[in-house]
Copies of this chain bind each other. A is one copy, B any other.
Amino acid sequence: MKRTDSKIKTITQTLYSAGFKLTPQRQVILKVLLENEHLSAEEIYLKVKIENSSVGLATVYRTLDLLRDLNVLNKMTFQDGISRYDLNNSGHLHQPHYLLCQKCGKIDEVENDLLLEIEKTIEELYHFKVNDHRLTFQGVCRSCLEQS
């Protein structure tokens, strides 16, 4: 069994156990999400249309919302105001960090858990209970550096 299949199965179970169905539309959307990272809703919609041209944009949004409610999906909004989506826990042990290239716009992910230390400091110093964090670096990526 392929890794993708087992993920689909897990998500299907999550859906059904919450009283929802795995419709053909949701299947295609999940497929696109499994094959890609940090796509925007529009980008997901376009890729979905290639496989099933009758799917509406509203369905994409509703499915993304649903998956987010089920904690299957992560929604992120970067500085451009456009939200991007990723399936949760795609093999990450820790919350990934992001590298946004200011030249080409590419978004890379990085794993690094040095933040745990900082989190502890924050909790002690400010009495703020940390549930989650997000760290983004802006700069210039490797390939853009090499081109200049």
* A-to-B contact residues, CB < 8 Å: 75-81, 83, 99, 101-102, 108, 110, 112, 114-115, 117-119, 121-122, 125-142, 145
Contacts and interface: CB of A to CB of B under 8 A. Distances in A.
A133 B137 CA distance: 4
Contacts of A77: 77-81
A75 to B, nearest CB: 7
Contacts of A130: 137-139
A7 B101 CA distance: 32
Given A80-B77, A118-B112, A118-B114, A131 B138 contact: yes
Give 7 closest A-B pairs by Cβ, nearest first: A127-B142, A130-B139, A132-B138, A131-B139, A129-B140, A129-B139, A134-B136
B135 A110 contact: no
Contacts of A136: 133-135
Contacts of A133: 135-138
A128 B139 contact: yes
Contacts of A80: 77
Nearest to A78: B77
Contacts of A101: 128
A130 to B, nearest CB: 4
A137 B132 contact: yes
7 contacts: A75-B79, A81-B81, A114-B114, A128-B142, A130-B137, A131-B139, A132-B139
A137 B145 contact: no
